[in-house]
């Protein structure tokens, strides 16, 4: 499937693009957001991606944009610029390119090494399934994958690896399917949530999101916009809590409470409290957009808050994984 940026028009509208502006694309991927920003306004775009394949794909745009586009290899938390910017956009999760390139091991649509590393270095998903304890695997799949069958799946993985290592995507998918008793008429494959949980652990996605949101808060000039497209409830929840906490001005200047100290003055204004979902037309054309949601806010002139601490959602799995690394 060709890469199709999700909620593209809505994200661009949220950024309120303007001529002369400077914008950050925190997740270059296939370049859809960056190209659209350059097409909509006479602006400059600074893009980042941790995947070396995405950096290679973006070389042509760097050349054709003639100084208006720069691309850096780095994670969310590495967002930086020599100047404050007018907008930052995030497109979270795995890209269509990563899913469609079987050898990357993100998907069980084809057989491949169980990899899932966005940066192609460090421990892989195979290390996780073969080296984490049963308790840690169950914790991971339940918390990151939000799968109620996590204990059965973890037990199945441990039993299967005792007979030989689990190194291939289709092998793991079959183990999960057998552990839960087959497809049972489900719309999605029973291994979907397990693969999601492993990918999020391997790439430290929630921790990187926390770092990235704080980096964006520091990078935005007053009046600048942040727009975040997420595909998973854990990511969306973190974005929502980050923005609502920093936009909460209850009690400021009232007779019932003193003004908030500067370090806790609202650093964002929520123009819209509810997330924006893709249209029916978009989900028909691009089924991967089904779970997407967009949240955005406007930066105030208040100082940035302390860096966001990612929640310890799966402490057993996270602790064991950290020791392995």
pLDDT digits (tens, 9 = 90+) for 137-191: 999 999 999 999 999 999 999 999 999 999 999 999 999 999 998 766 677 899 9
Length of the chain: 325
Question: How much is the pLDDT for 79?
Answer: 86
Q: What is the mean pLDDT of residues 271-289?
A: 90
Question: How much is the pLDDT for 252?
Answer: 45
Question: How much is the pLDDT for 75?
Answer: 87
Q: Render pLDDT for 3-44 as a digit per residue (tens, 0 to 9).
A: 678 999 999 999 999 999 999 999 998 999 999 999 999 999
Task: Name all domains of the chain by residue range, CATH numbers in brackets.
Answer: 8-96+206-299 (3.40.50.150), 97-203 (1.10.150.170)
pLDDT reading at 251 higher than 60: no
- Quick one: pLDDT band at residue 213, thresholds 50, 70, 90? very high
- Quick one: pLDDT band at residue 47, thresholds 50, 70, 90? very high
Which residues does 43 contact at the CB level (< 8 Å), separation at least 6?
A: 17, 18, 19, 20, 21, 22, 23, 37, 68, 86
What DSSP string describes 275-321? PBPPPHHHHHH-GGGTT-EEEEEEE-SSPPPSPPPPP-SSHHHHHHH
Q: What is the mean pLDDT of residues 205-229?
A: 96
Question: How much is the pLDDT for 1?
Answer: 44
**Which segment, 76-85, 183-192, 259-268, 272-281, is predicted with the most confidence on average?**
272-281
Question: How much is the pLDDT for 109?
Answer: 85
Question: How much is the pLDDT for 287?
Answer: 84
pLDDT reading at 108 higher than 90: no
> What is the rounded average pLDDT for all residues in the chain?
90
Radius of gyration for the alpha carbons in the chain, expressed in angstroms and rounded: 21
Dihedral, 88, 306, 93, 322 alpha carbons, nearest 10: 150
Q: What is the mean pLDDT of residues 206-212?
A: 94
Q: What is the mean pLDDT of residues 223-234?
A: 95
SS3 46: strand
- Quick one: pLDDT band at residue 76, thresholds 50, 70, 90? confident
Largest CA distance in the chain: 69
E strands, the chain, are 22-25, 44-49, 69-73, 85-91, 220-230, 268-269, 293-299
Question: How much is the pLDDT for 261?
Answer: 59
Burial of 185 (C-beta count, 10 Å sphere; 0-12/13-18/19+): exposed
Of 95-109, 126-140, 302-316, the least confident: 95-109
């Amino acid at each position: 499937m060709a890469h199709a940026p999700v909620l593209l028009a809505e994200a661009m509208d949220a950024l309120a693009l303007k001529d002369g502006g400077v914008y950050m694309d925190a997740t270059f991927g296939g370049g859809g957001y960056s190209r659209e920003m350059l097409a909509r306004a006479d602006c400059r775009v600074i893009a980042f991606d941790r995947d070396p394949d995405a950096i290679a794909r973006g070389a042509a745009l760097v050349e054709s944009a003639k100084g208006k586009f720069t691309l850096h290899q780095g994670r969310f938390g590495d967002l930086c610029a020599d100047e404050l910017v007018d907008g930052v956009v995030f497109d979270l999760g795995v890209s269509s390119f990563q899913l469609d390139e079987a050898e990357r091991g993100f998907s069980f649509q084809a057989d491949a090494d169980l990899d899932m590393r966005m940066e192609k270095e460090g421990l892989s998903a195979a290390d996780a399934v073969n080296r984490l304890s049963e308790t840690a695997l169950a914790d991971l799949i339940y918390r990151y994958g939000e799968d109620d069958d996590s204990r059965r799946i973890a037990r199945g993985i441990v039993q299967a690896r005792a007979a030989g290592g689990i190194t291939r995507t289709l092998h793991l998918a079959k183990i999960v399917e057998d552990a839960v008793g087959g497809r049972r008429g489900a719309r999605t494959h029973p291994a979907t949530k397990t693969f999601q949980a492993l990918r999020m652990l391997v790439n430290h996605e929630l921790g990187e999101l926390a770092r990235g949101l704080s980096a964006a808060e520091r990078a935005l000039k007053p009046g600048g916009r942040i727009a975040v497209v997420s595909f998973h409830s854990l990511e969306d929840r973190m974005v929502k809590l980050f923005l609502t906490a920093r936009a909460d001005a209850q009690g400021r200047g009232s007779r019932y409470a003193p003004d908030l100290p500067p370090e806790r003055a609202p650093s964002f204004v929520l123009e819209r409290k509810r997330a924006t979902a893709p249209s029916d037309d978009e989900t028909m054309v691009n089924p991967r957009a089904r779970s997407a949601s967009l949240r955005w806010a406007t930066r105030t002139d208040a100082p940035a808050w302390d860096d966001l601490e990612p929640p310890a959602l799966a402490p057993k799995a996270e602790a064991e994984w950290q020791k392995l690394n």
